[in-house]
Chains A and B, each alone.
Chain A
Amino acid sequence: GQQVMQIPQYQHVQEGEDFTTYCNSSTTLSNIQWYKQRPGGHPVFLIQLVKSGEVKKQKRLTFQFGEAKKNSSLHITATQTTDVGTYFCAGPSGGYQKVTFGTGTKLQVIP
């Protein structure tokens, strides 16, 4: 079945440094979504990318969908302590019915 891997699994950064997480799917995706889960919390939707090569920005966050629609990245500029959490990518699978989540990247920001 489809696998969605993310790297790195963990990342510690100093506050103010940049952070990037990468998402790779074993199959082509019709779209990709990104979610953030704060410690002890639930996943919260950040964004959805649909087009090949698409780039979207949300303040300090930049999301990119690969040309082949099999990979994606999330880049955070000048991290803040409020960015702490686990970032998941997610994509459709199983005949586009279910949503499969990536393995996640846990971000720790050191003040």
Chain B
Amino acid sequence: NAGVMQNPRHLVRRRGQEARLRCSPMKGHSHVYWYRQLPEEGLKFMVYLQKENIIDESGMPKERFSAEFPKEGPSILRIQQVVRGDSAAYFCASSPRQGADGELFFGEGSRLTVL
């Protein structure tokens, strides 16, 4: 059973470009979380999704950021018009259960660098 797959592992964008980060959860997992981690800092919650639904997006910036988890295919975190402050590691985690009742399985992260 493959783990949580994230791609790209590293992404370089210039200011104003778009970044798309993809996350394929573990097989059988229908719950996906996205976290942002700045260097030497903690994991900041961004969004919690189930298949086709956004359950909690309280950690998402109101502008430029969006997330989806379609019925088919990976979850996507999209950042439009990137700025230098968006440079960070973005981790996706999946779970087979609803809410915060059980282990989160993390991907290896996508490291975004904005020039």
Instruction: Assess the B99–A104 pair: CB atoms within 8 A.
Output: no
User: Known: A42-B91, A43-B43, A88-B42. Is A98-B100 also a contact (CB below 8 A)?
Assistant: yes
Stretch at the interface among B19-27, B67-75, B79-87, B104-112: B104-112
Total chain B interface residues with beta-carbon distance under 8 A: 27
CB of A99 closer than 8 Å to a CB of B: yes
Instruction: Assess the A93–B100 pair: CB atoms within 8 A.
Output: yes
Total chain A interface residues with beta-carbon distance under 8 A: 28
Q: Residues of B at under 8 Å CB distance from A?
A: 33, 35, 40-45, 48, 55-56, 58-59, 91, 93, 98-109
Instruction: Assess the A48–B108 pair: CB atoms within 8 A.
Output: no
What is the bound-complex CA distance between A97 and B108, given in angstroms? 23
Query: What are the nearest 7 A-B pairs in CB distance?
Result: A92-B100, A101-B43, A45-B103, A99-B100, A42-B106, A96-B99, A98-B56
